[in-house]
Structure 1
Amino acid sequence: SAGGSTCAEHRAVSYNEIDGSLYKEKELIFPPELVLRKNLPLKLHGFGGIRWYRPLELKHLLDLKLLYPTAKLVVGNTEVGIEINFKSAQYPILISVSHVPELNVLNIKENGLEIGSSVRLTRLQEVLEEVIAERETHETSSCRAISDQLKWFAGKQVKNVASVGGNICTASPISDLNPLWMAARADFHIIDSKGNIRTVHAKDFFLGYRKVDLAQGEILHSIFLPWSRHFEFVKEFKQSHR
């Protein structure tokens, strides 16, 4: 103490200890009200007639895609934001797919890993590390390659919001991950507005410069990454400009 005053000791506070008052006496954390807030479907209007939707169910998303077949789907907005701000792209209808449960699945199966298209890259990296630690070494060659490549993928803030499906469907010719999906024999599951699902091999999905095998009204539902086979090795390399 100094001059009779005592410095309070700070400690981390969990969400269940917070009653919503006296935040000034506690360590700053993410607002619990936002964590506990019930999600609602949203429809917002923006400048220039832009409309922004956030469905919470796959059926509602497919209905919107049927109604607006050319609508742009967004999760982290890391690519679309650049296109709008720096390339003068115009997207009058935007649909956020970040809160659709079916697109956020991450299931470890007997024959591989099922990855929803809205899964964030940070979450994918976490699960890949778990799989690498738990499964046989020969099964996780592809997982190790993707996990290692993600270490060089943008910054943590971008990976926290960017999605697996968004990175795939952007079809960038300098993509860090798309060559690995092809090398790893991944399959892409595509769903149309009627709920029909078809499967496309990753190597057949990319048709050209920023062109993919998605018809109007279709979206990328999920990715299936099979375990590597015996004597099958996948290794990533990233070469920068000289």
Structure 2
Amino acid sequence: CPSSGKPCSCGEHKVHNCESSFGAATIGEHKPVSYSEIDGSLYNEKELIFPPELALRNDLPLKLHGYGGIRWYRPLKLSALLDLKSLYPNAKLVAGNTEVGIEMNFKNAQYPILISVTHVHELNVLNIKENGLEIGSSVRLSKLQHILLKVITERDIHETSSCRAISEQLKWFAGKQVKNVASVGGNICTASPISDLNPLWMAARAEFQIVDSKGHIRTVRAKDFFLGYRKVDLAQGEMLLSIFIPWSRHFEFVKEFKQSHRREDD
């Protein structure tokens, strides 16, 4: 359909379309265009739409080769990701590329093997449980912000003190376009000393699930995960699987505070 960009099932029935031209209404006829017959030349007088074939395309695992021997993988399953991590223990995991891109462009960091974790289903889970909230490490910050608002609305107020603090902090966490690609796990594992969220994970008594290349999972508390300046409790071959935030207890209060020259995008 030229208007919605979705597959058209109208067949050969004629569709009447009223358009206004220089203040005068004219009536024209056109035949619906099916998905397989899409031709950009037919849309000269229509607003550009997102290509339907891309919207309907199934996700596929990818393996790409780049300049200088760089290899880029995009697995879809955790098992495939663990196999790649076992094969390339020093490979750099990439989610939103908001940190790795800076390291490569401005710090001349060299990563011959890059593995994108954006499409791994097990890393994108968001589960509201009886005792807390489970967040996959590849969940986007904007998606986390959305689920936190849902939790705050539906749960008892005394249970969501931590969620409200994280939600408020996310309002001033970079711009919307950055939050749409930046991941929760990437921000944690970067261990930036000026992170807006890492102090809140510790205050909220969050726990991190760590998985190694053999599939073994261990749990570490957020306050024990950060070992020093940009150092975290991750051994070679390990990666952050998920984050668990327990509901706040009665008379337990968590409050965010950010101090900066600029309130936004800092």
> Normalized against structure 1, the TM-score is what?
0.91
1:199 and 2:208 aligned = no
Equivalent in 122, 133, 139 of residue 113 of structure 1:
133
1:11 maps to what in 2?
A: none
What's the TM-score once normalised by structure 2's chain length?
A: 0.83
**What is the CA distance between 1:241 and its match in structure 2?**
4.1
Amino acid paired to 2:133: L
Give the whole-Å Cα distance in 2 for the aligned partners of 1:31 and 1:130: 31
Q: Percent identity?
A: 81
Count of equivalent residues: 234
Matched, 1:164 2:199: no
**One-letter amino acid of the structure 1 residue matched with residue 111 of structure 2:** Y
| Alignment RMSD (CA, Å) | 1.9
Q: Report the CA distance between 1:75 and its aligned residue.
A: 1.0
1 or 2, which has the higher helix percentage? Answer: 1
Unaligned runs of 5+ in 1: 9-16
1:174 pairs with 2:194: yes
Say if 1:176 and 1:18 are closer, same or farther in 2 by CA, change over 3 A: farther
Q: Could you list the structure 1 runs, at least 4 aligned residues long, displaced by more than 6 angstroms after superposition.
A: none
2:165 alignment partner AA: A
Distance 1:155 1:220 in 2: 24
Looking at CA atoms only, which structure, 1 or 2, has the larger radius of gyration? Answer: 2
Superposition map of 1:17-36 within 5 A: 19=35, 20-21=38-39, 22-36=42-56
Q: C-alpha distance in 1, partners of 2:205/2:254?
A: 10
Match of 2:160 in 1: 140
Shift in Å, 1:23 = 4.2
Q: Report 1 or 2 for greater relative contact order, CA contacts < 8 Å, sequence distance ≥ 6.
A: 1
Q: Indicate the residue corresponding to 1:84 in structure 2.
A: 104
Q: Residue deviations 1:137-156, cap 9 Å, x none? A: 00000000000000000000
Q: Which residue of 2 aligns with 1:185?
A: 205
Displacement of 1:25 after TM fit?
4.9
| Matching residue of 1:228 | 248
CA deviations 1:101-130 (Å, max 9, x no partner) are 000000000000000000000000000000
Q: CA deviation at 1:76?
A: 1.0
Deviations 1:28-51 (A, max 9, x none): 443322221111111111111111
Alpha-carbon distance between aligned partners in 1 of 2:26 and 2:139, rounded to the nearest angstrom: 43
For 1:189-234, what per-residue CA distance to the aligned partner results, in whole angstroms no more than 9, with x for missing partners? Answer: 0001111100000000001111100011111000001110000000
In structure 2, the gaps of 5 or more residues are 1-19, 28-32
Residue 54 of structure 1: which of 66, 69, 74 is its match?
Answer: 74
Q: Amino acid of the residue matched to residue 125 of structure 2?
A: V
Change beyond 3 A, Cα 1:227–1:49: same
CA–CA distance in 2 between the matches of 1:71 and 1:207? Answer: 21
2:232 corresponding residue in structure 1: 212
- For 1:18 and 1:210, locate their aligned partners in 2 and report how far apart those are by CA, in whole Å: 53
Q: Using a 3 Å threshold, how does the CA distance of structure 1 residues 6 and 206 change in structure 2: closer, same or farther?
A: same
